Amino acid sequence: LLLKPSWKQHYSFPWFGMDIGGTLVKLVYFEPVDITAEEEQEEVENLKSIRRYLTSNVAYGKTGVRDVHLELRNLTMCGRTGNLHFIRFPTQAMPRFIQMGRDKNFSSLHTTLCATGGGAYKFENDFRMMADLELLKLDELDCLIRGLLFVDRVGFNGHPECYYFQNPSDTQSCVKKPCTLDNPFPMLLVNIGSGVSILTVYSENNYKRVTGTSLGGGTFLGLCCLLTGCETFEEALEMASKGDSTNVDKLVKDIYGGDYERFGLQGSAVASSFGHMMSKEKRDSISKEDLARATLVTITNNIGSIARMCAVNEKIERVVFVGNFLRINTVSTKLLAYAMDYWSKGQLRALFLEHEGYFGAVGALMELLKTTEDP
């Protein structure tokens, strides 16, 4: 579907898509690389300044980060060629961001700012009052699906966007394998952000939110900060990578002395998460790393369990996990892959996507452009 050039007038630069979540703001920015000399001449100063600021930095302020490794190069969108950049910063820094928008006179550019996520509603007034910006509010799940399908279609700089784990139950031979979402429907989509939403997607425009759980990425981070004194997601994951959750969790074998054979529960399965922690002796013997690991494992397995129940209920075999809880979080992705495979006796397969938590923002950008990629 190619848009007529005359429509381009409506889609003046800059092109942004924004997803204001409970913990993080995800921003995608399309940097045109096909700017003609003439266009450059006409380009207003603040637009140029924005473009330069965003593309010549990989960090912004104290907490903004551009995920360079995720950049989609030489993408064609709406007849323009450019690079798609992926930027994130904590939602807590939103006032600072809006301030910047004001300082750079963003409103004078008269562009529509397409925004999704709860914050598009929560901060609507702030954008208006503080930066004279009108948000075009979009539903986060609509955007998620649209963005996901788009990125999977265009691919990741010639590589597949989607992957899974082969032999997830075997730590030695567990290996990441690429795949695509050809004939993706129906799919179970599990979006793990601060909280979790689980959707059954029948087609691009036909989906339902099956359920959700409030035990998500925010829970992992919140509990870790409380239990270990860490302050960031990266610190929490670092600790978790070094810990042993079985010192913290009560396993089936701790209760049965072995397997609970009657109902197929292996001795190594967790019977009671954090179950050892009611004993002072055990509390004194574990490390912060063990606690971080147990928190990660508990939250991840709970999501896996709920996802599995949904997949069975909805009779779907493919479960796609997205969301920034999985960012740089191989422990959780492998655990989810394993859990889906193991508890379903190989019936279910877990799939993952490289751009994890950015699909909502991409979907918002697409709404701005209302286009698909050029062939």
Partner 1 sequence: MAFNGHQRDDDDIIDENETPSKQPRSDKEMPVHFRNEPNSESATTAGRATSDRRTSQSATRHRHDSVKKTRPPFPWFGMDIGGTLVKLVYFEPKDITAEEEQEEVENLKSIRRYLTSNTAYGKTGIRDVHLELQDLTLCGRKGSLHFIRFPTHDLPAFLQMGRDKHFSSLHTTLCATGGGAYKFESDFRLMADLELHKLDELDCLIRGVLYLDSVMSSGPSECYYFENPADPDHCVQKPCTLENPYPLLLVNIGSGVSILAVYSENNYKRVTGTSLGGGTFLGLCCLLTGCSTFEEALEMASQGESTRVDKLVRDIYGGDYERFGLPGWAVASSFGNMMSKEKRESVSKEDLARATLVTITNNIGSITRMCALNENIETVLFVGNFLRVNTLSMKLLAYAMDYWSKGQLKALFLRHEGYFGAVGALLELLHPS
- For the annotated catalytic residues, the residue numbers are 140
Give the residue with the Cβ less far from partner 1, 152 or 314. Answer: 314
**Cα 263 → chain centroid:** 35
In what helix (H) or strand (E) does residue 283 lie, and over which residues does it extend? helix 280-285
Give residue for tokens 């075999």.
317
332-351 binders of partner 1 (CB under 8 A): none
Strands in 233-348 per DSSP E: 250-251, 270-272, 318-322
Give the residue with the Cβ less far from partner 1, 64 or 217. Answer: 217
Give the residue with the Cβ less far from partner 1, 276 or 334. Answer: 276
Q: Is 372 in a helix, a strand, or coil?
A: coil
Give the residue with the Cβ less far from partner 1, 92 or 330. Answer: 92
Least gap, CB of 117 to partner 1 (angstroms): 8
Residues 233/24, Cβ–Cβ less than 8 Å? no
Closest CA to 271 of 286, 283, 255, 247: 255
> In Å, how far are 26, 67, 174, 272, 357 from 262, measured between CA atoms?
47, 49, 29, 18, 41
Least gap, CB of 24 to partner 1 (angstroms): 11
Least gap, CB of 25 to partner 1 (angstroms): 12
Alpha helices, DSSP H, located in 136-275:
140-154, 217-228, 233-242, 252-256
Q: Does the footprint of partner 1 cover residue 73 (CB under 8 A)?
A: no
Q: Is 49 in a helix, a strand, or coil?
A: helix
Residues 228/290, Cβ–Cβ less than 8 Å? no
Q: Does the footprint of partner 1 cover residue 191 (CB under 8 A)?
A: no
Q: Does the footprint of partner 1 cover residue 298 (CB under 8 A)?
A: yes
Q: Is 346 in a helix, a strand, or coil?
A: coil
* 200, 219, 324, 332: which one binds partner 1 (CB under 8 A): 219
Least gap, CB of 269 to partner 1 (angstroms): 8
Residues 116/44, Cβ–Cβ less than 8 Å? no
242-281 binders of partner 1 (CB under 8 A): 248-250, 252, 254-258, 260, 262-263, 265, 269-280
Least gap, CB of 274 to partner 1 (angstroms): 3
Binding range to partner 1, per CB under 8 A, among 25-33, 67-75, 206-214, 346-354 = 206-214
Q: Does the footprint of partner 1 cover residue 127 (CB under 8 A)?
A: no
Residues 273/249, Cβ–Cβ less than 8 Å? yes
Residues making contact with partner 1 (CB under 8 A): 21-23, 92, 117-119, 121-124, 139, 141, 194-195, 209, 211-219, 221-223, 225-227, 231, 248-250, 252, 254-258, 260, 262-263, 265, 269-280, 283, 291, 298, 301-302, 305-306, 309-310, 312-313
